[in-house]
Homo-oligomer: A and B are copies of this chain.
Amino acid sequence: MAKQKQDDGQAPKLTINDIARMAGVSKKTVSRVINRSPLLNRETRDKVEAIIQETGYVPNPQARALALGRNFLIGLIYDNPNVQMILSMQKGILEALHGTEFELVIRPVDRGSNLVMDDIRGFVTRQRLFGVVILPPMSENDALARMLDEEGCRYVRMGSAVLDDAEHMVASNDREAVADAVRHLIAQGHRRIGLIAGPHGFRSAQERREGFELALTEAGISLPRSLIADGQYTFESGISASESLLDLSPRPTAIFASNDEMAAGVLYAARLRGIAVPEELSIIGFDDTPVTTRVWPPLTTVRWPIVAMGRAAALKLIGTAIGEGAEVNEPSMFSSTLIRRASVAPPPAS
Chain B residues whose CB sits within 8 angstroms of the CB of A295 once the complex forms: 294-296
- In chain A, positions 233-273 with a C-beta closer than 8 Å to chain B are 235, 264, 268, 271
C-alpha gap A58/B127 in the complex (Å)? 11
CB distance from A108 to the nearest CB of B (A): 6
Residue pair A268, B290 in contact (C-beta under 8 Å): no
Question: Does any Cβ of B come within 8 Å of A291's Cβ?
Answer: yes
CB distance from A281 to the nearest CB of B (A): 15
Chain B residues whose CB sits within 8 angstroms of the CB of A104 once the complex forms: 105-106
Most buried by B among A58, A128, A152, A294: A294
Query: Across the two chains, which residue of chain B brings its CB closest to A97?
Result: B106
- In chain A, positions 43-89 with a C-beta closer than 8 Å to chain B are 58, 60-63, 65-66, 71, 73, 83-84, 86-87
Q: Which of A8-16, A165-173, A204-212 contacts B (4 or more CB under 8 A)?
A: A8-16
Question: Does any Cβ of B come within 8 Å of A280's Cβ?
Answer: no
Residue pair A105, B103 in contact (C-beta under 8 Å): yes
CB distance from A186 to the nearest CB of B (A): 28
In the complex, which of the residues B11, B65, B291, B294 contacts A125, with contact meaning CB atoms closer than 8 Å? B11
Residue pair A9, B268 in contact (C-beta under 8 Å): no
Residue pair A268, B291 in contact (C-beta under 8 Å): no
Chain B residues whose CB sits within 8 angstroms of the CB of A106 once the complex forms: 90, 94, 104-106
Query: Across the two chains, which residue of chain B brings its CB closest to A87?
Result: B83
C-alpha gap A306/B271 in the complex (Å)? 31
- In chain A, positions 79-120 with a C-beta closer than 8 Å to chain B are 83-84, 86-87, 90-91, 94, 103-108
The answer to whether residues A62 and B66 also contact, given A264-B294, A295-B294, A295-B295 and a CB cut-off of 8 A, is yes
Interface string of A153-180 (1 = CB under 8 A from B): 0000000000000000000000000000
C-alpha gap A152/B8 in the complex (Å)? 7
Question: Does any Cβ of B come within 8 Å of A126's Cβ?
Answer: yes
- In chain A, positions 9-33 with a C-beta closer than 8 Å to chain B are 9-11, 13
Query: Across the two chains, which residue of chain B brings its CB closest to A103?
Result: B105
C-alpha gap A60/B91 in the complex (Å)? 30
C-alpha gap A91/B106 in the complex (Å)? 10
CB distance from A98 to the nearest CB of B (A): 9
C-alpha gap A62/B66 in the complex (Å)? 5
Question: Does any Cβ of B come within 8 Å of A330's Cβ?
Answer: no
C-alpha gap A268/B10 in the complex (Å)? 54
Chain B residues whose CB sits within 8 angstroms of the CB of A268 once the complex forms: 294, 296
CB distance from A287 to the nearest CB of B (A): 13
Residue pair A9, B108 in contact (C-beta under 8 Å): no
Query: Could you name 23 residue pairs across A and B whose Cβ atoms are closer than 8 Å?
Result: A8-B152, A9-B150, A9-B151, A11-B125, A13-B125, A61-B127, A62-B65, A63-B66, A65-B65, A66-B66, A86-B87, A90-B106, A94-B106, A103-B127, A104-B105, A105-B106, A264-B294, A271-B296, A290-B291, A294-B295, A295-B295, A295-B296, A296-B296
Binding site for B on A (CB under 8 A): 8-11, 13, 58, 60-63, 65-66, 71, 73, 83-84, 86-87, 90-91, 94, 103-108, 122, 125-128, 150-152, 235, 264, 268, 271, 290-291, 293-296
